[in-house]
Structure 1
Amino acid sequence: MKTVYASGSGPAVVLMPEMPGISPDVLRLARWVRDAGLTVYIPSLFGIDGAYPTVEGGKEVVRRACVSAEFRAFAGGGSSPVTAWLRGLARQAHAECGGPGVGAIGLCFTGNFALTMALEPAVIAPVVNHPSLPLDDPAALEISGEDARAVRERIARDGLKVLAYRFNDDRWCTGQRFAAYQALLGDAFDGRVLPASSANTNPPPFFRDVVGSPHSVVTAHLVDEDGHPTLKARNEILAFLIDRLSPSGYSEYPDD
């Protein structure tokens, strides 16, 4: 049984944590989603909820996740089994919150889960942030062939759009990976690349010492300053969610 935190009102967004857990930076993003008029659901998938990870503690969380039966961290593994449970969470969230559908935000280790969740018809606004799986193949995607075909069918049938972000020299989410998404999804894939020079230069220790490159666009490497590229990315994500999930919708999220 997994813990799921929920807050807010309005249509639902499932926000999945980045490795190695629901950090204060992930919770900050959740509050922004909530304050945009949406209900945010955060499932606890790994790590210590609410804590900044230490270097050694974060490494141990990664090690456990990589051998867990719930995840497919390496090439050839296909879609992670946990995504079936996440699709169920999306169905439940839609039933509880109503609205046109559900948003899904994946981050890092869970980045591609937002795409696989789109196999659930309720998910209509997937956001794939700096997807890092599979860890051993920078040009591959963490999705089975069957699921990839089903996603393409969903795009053709429903006009699904996928928003994605990465930094330009991210060693965990490379240009090769975004090219693979483009090849799979075609014009439905809106992959946006930020300059590495715009990343927060003083992230928490795990991101500084283990991740080792600009990576987490709207969490650990975000700079919360008006007009900053990472804050603009946050605004674009919120606008994408609002536009698709709110019955009236609007296309811009106001700057702070």
Structure 2
Amino acid sequence: TSWGLSTRSLGGLFLTHGDDDGLILPPKIAPYQIVIIVIPSPRGAENVLADVRKMAAYIQNLQKDLTKKGIRVKVDTSEEIEIYLQDLQADTSVESVGRRFNKWEVKGVPMRLEIGSKEVVGGIVTVAIRDTKDKVIMKLDEFIATVDTLLSDIQKRLFEKQKKFLQDNTHDVSSWGEFVKIMNSTRGFLHAFWCEDPACEKQIKEKTKATTRCLPLGAKEEKGTCIHCGKTASHRWIFGQSY
């Protein structure tokens, strides 16, 4: 038998860090930590073929530098560069830049790099951060030198944000009346003594829809009384409603 750790962990991850625009993946576990979006010059622009070739070389070198640092990177050309190089008159339908931005936001890639002719000429990168939605322009060499720190900051920021959310929504309760009041209003997690009798937990669930979620790691034995029945209890458990 299985208690579904893998799917439950993924579900918890998605719900914890996601927003209305899709997933937000922590860099340490993201399949791709950075996606490079190619923004070619408009069709018919002067010297477009030369621009595209310069852009391709710029992106290849950028990808190589990032890969050397152990960063998982994906280049999304949406076939645009290949179309230019094969046939400048090709009438092939490709994804718009905005659609490609949205595609990778939905997938939760932590960082997006936008590379167009402006970036190539200026030796810069436009950096978009998924979790904060910030966008900054950096010199290429500065970005390469600090990219590890940028990804580490994203990882830390996501962790600290949810740690605070958990702390703000976990309440120590010492009376049954307080327990019921919170479960009927703000909900969240309740930290309370429990006698560890399944029959008592069943009654708690019938009255409040709450059950024990877990015994916190490192929980020490204490002397207390059960939040519901008043019997002797030695541990404070985490209670919550499941959906």
Give 1 or 2 for the bigger CA radius of gyration.
Answer: 2
TM-score range, shorter chain: 0.3 to 0.5
The structure with the largest strand share of the pair is 2
TM-score by length of 1: 0.32
